Amino acid sequence: MNVLITEDDALHRAFLKTTVENALPECDQVLEAEDGEIAMQKVATNDVFGIIMDLQMPKASGVDAAKEIWRRNPDMRILFWSNYADEAYVRGVSRIVPSGAVYGYLLKSASEERLELAVRGVFLQDQCIIDREVRGIQQRSEDTLEGLTDSEFEVLTDIALGMTDKAIARRRNISSRSVQSRLKHLYEKLCIDASDTGFEFGPVFNSRTRAVATAFSRGLLNADGLAASQESLDEWLRGPTLR
Partner DNA sequence: TCTTCGACTGCGGATATCCGCAATTCAAGG
Partner DNA sequence: CCTTGAATTGCGGATATCCGCAGTCGAAGA
Instruction: Kindly determine how many residues on this chain lie close enough to bind DNA according to the rule CB under 7 A.
Output: 26
Bridge pairing between strands 77-82 and 48-54: parallel
Does residue 172 belong to the site contacting a copy of itself (CB under 8 A)?
A: no
Does residue 185 belong to the site contacting DNA (CB under 7 A)?
A: yes
Does residue 41 belong to the site contacting a copy of itself (CB under 8 A)?
A: no
User: 159: which DSSP letter?
Assistant: H
Binder to DNA among 2, 94, 181, 230 (CB under 7 A)? Answer: 181
Closer residue to a copy of itself (CB): 76 or 220: 220
Please, which of residues 151-170 interact with DNA by CB under 7 A?
A: 151, 164-166, 169
Distance between CA 79 and CA 92 in Å, rounded? Answer: 14
H/E run at residue 33: strand 29-33
Residues that bind DNA (CB under 7 A): 149, 151, 164-166, 169, 174-178, 180-185, 187, 193-195, 202-203, 206-208
Residues that bind a copy of itself (CB under 8 A): 9, 11-12, 15, 108, 159-164, 166-167, 170, 198-214, 216-217, 222-223, 226-227, 230, 237, 241-243
